[in-house]
Amino acid sequence: MDNKKNLFLAQRLISGDPKAYDLLMEFYYQNLCAYAQSLCQDHALAEDIVQNVFVKMWDKRKKINPDLSIKSYLYKSVYNEFIDQYRKNKPVIYLEKKYYEAIDLVVDIEPEELDNLIKLMNIEIENLPSKCKEIFLMNKKEGLTHTEISEYLNISTKTVEGHITRAFKILTEKLGTKMEAVLFLLFGFNKKKGQTSLR
């Protein structure tokens, strides 16, 4: 959808035109659901998030700035709704505070850039040395502790820690300060007993 059509629909939406609302739903709903699912890894929750965004958009339509991209508005709204849902459904504990701080780093990023960061993270994880990638994913994706990985692979915990540290070093070089926030989006927060940090 080009900028002129976005602007026209935003103006019609602000004026209370239900057809503009329907057109925005038709054009953006599926893509927003896919985006929300990339954040929460849950199809049903993703749909709930997007539906909430559209309901809130209609309720607050008079406050929308027609000069701003309606696409960016919708994507940022989905992102903010995801954060709200996460905080609502997860008990706040001390260890999560650092992740809230990390996740706030990406709130103001344009949706396209955030999509690119997530894609880049997946690519760079795939490009890690094979053993390094295996151990990193066992820790981040499967939630296994360093001890559990060492027992499963019959290697020392020092070796496990070395591979995970190496993975973090490589990923930080590629993605910079936003690396931990993007990891959070991909794998969430592991609260498995014994795992007390991203590393």
Residues 83-131 have pLDDT tens digits of 887 777 665 544 455 555 555 655 556 666 777 788 888 899 999 999 9
Q: Element (H or E) spanning 157, and its range?
A: helix 157-175
Q: Does the pLDDT of residue 52 top 90, yes or no? A: yes
- Residues 6 or more apart whose CB falls under 8 angstroms from that of 2 comprise none
Looking at residue 85, its pLDDT comes to 79
User: pLDDT at residue 178 above 50?
Assistant: yes
The pLDDT assigned to 1 comes to 57
Which pTM does this prediction carry?
Answer: 0.51
User: Is 165 a residue whose pLDDT tops 50?
Assistant: yes
Those residues with Cβ within 8 angstroms of residue 108's Cβ, 6 or more apart along the chain or in another chain = none
* Local structure of residue 177 (DSSP, 8 states): G
